[in-house]
Amino acid sequence: MSFKVTFGLLAAGLMLSGCMQATTFEATNTANFKPRDKELLAKTTYVKTPVAEPFRRAIVEYHRKEAPGSIVVDSDNHYLYYVMNDGKAIRYGITVGEEAMAWSGIAKVGSMTEWPAWHPTPGEISRLGVPTFVAPGPDNPMGSRAMYLYSGGKDTLFRIHGTNQPEYIGSSISSGCIRMTNEDVIDLYGRVKLGTIVVVLEPKHGDSPYKPQMALQGAGGTTY
């Protein structure tokens, strides 16, 4: 093996290990779940696919300037950040919209619901062939929580919500909404309040120093 190849592999390994060392993964604390959460999560029938390590909830160093208590969505890298004090953030892996359906901009959390019903938009009904209403429940596509994004006092029709498809965390397949695992969205919901600022970065503007694709490849996993 040549010196250049050896050096390149060593450098990549150091970059990856540095990212991993800066990451403190957080286990789900079910003690914070409400009785209804435990009851409905126990009844889910979807496959509880484990989230790939790069997209597991973690406390990370945060280099941007958004104020503590705000939310930043980096669709390029499939991360949502809840900004904390002292240059830290809680980073969650997410599913985001396909490029043609993605939304970006600055919004506020205008409404919040536990175990919401699903009211598909006319476009979703036409495109997906889904009913006009899906009642709340363990397998509802909206999952365990929903935070509704408003801009200029109007509902953008985009939400941060749970999912019955955890296998897609780290992918771009939704109808534009920001999906999280049901466990992660319960955690975020408990930290958020009405009026929380949500910054959704424009496509190609994500600047996470932690590159999930590199981590997946370095671990021998499958890239999305």
Which structural domains are found in the chain, ordered by start? 25-218 (2.40.440.10)
CA 92 to chain centre: 5
- What would the two tokens of residue 215 be? 């981590």
- Reference 72, options 192, 164, 152, 194; nearest CA is 192
The reported pLDDT for the residue numbered 216 is 40
Question: 143's torsion region: left (phi>0), alpha (psi -120 to 50) or beta?
Answer: left
The reported pLDDT for the residue numbered 100 is 55
Q: Which of 19, 63, 78, 177 is catalytic?
A: 177
**Residue 19 designated active-site:** no
With H, G, I as helix, E, B as strand and everything else as coil, classify residue 192. Answer: coil
- Reference 212, options 51, 65, 27, 49; nearest CA is 51
The reported pLDDT for the residue numbered 210 is 60
- Give yes or no for a contact between 170 and 51, defined as CB atoms under 8 angstroms apart: yes
pLDDT string in tens for the chain (224-residue length): 443 433 333 333 333 333 333 578 888 888 889 999 999 999 999 999 999 999 999 999 999 999 999 999 999 999 999 999 999 999 999 999 876 567 789 999 999 999 999 887 787 778 777 778 888 999 999 999 999 999 999 999 899 999 999 999 999 987 779 999 999 999 999 999 999 999 999 887 777 766 554 334 333 333 22
Q: Which of 63, 78, 161, 205 is catalytic?
A: 161
Query: d(Cα 80, Cα 74) in Å, to the nearest integer?
Result: 6
* Residues facing 58 on adjacent strands: 25, 91
**Residue 177 designated active-site:** yes
- Give yes or no for a contact between 138 and 45, defined as CB atoms under 8 angstroms apart: yes
The reported pLDDT for the residue numbered 223 is 28
The reported pLDDT for the residue numbered 134 is 82
The reported pLDDT for the residue numbered 21 is 37
How would you classify the pairing of strands 79-83 and 105-114? Answer: unpaired
- What would the two tokens of residue 155 be? 């509902």
Reported residue count of the chain is 224
- What would the two tokens of residue 72 be? 């930043």
The reported pLDDT for the residue numbered 126 is 81
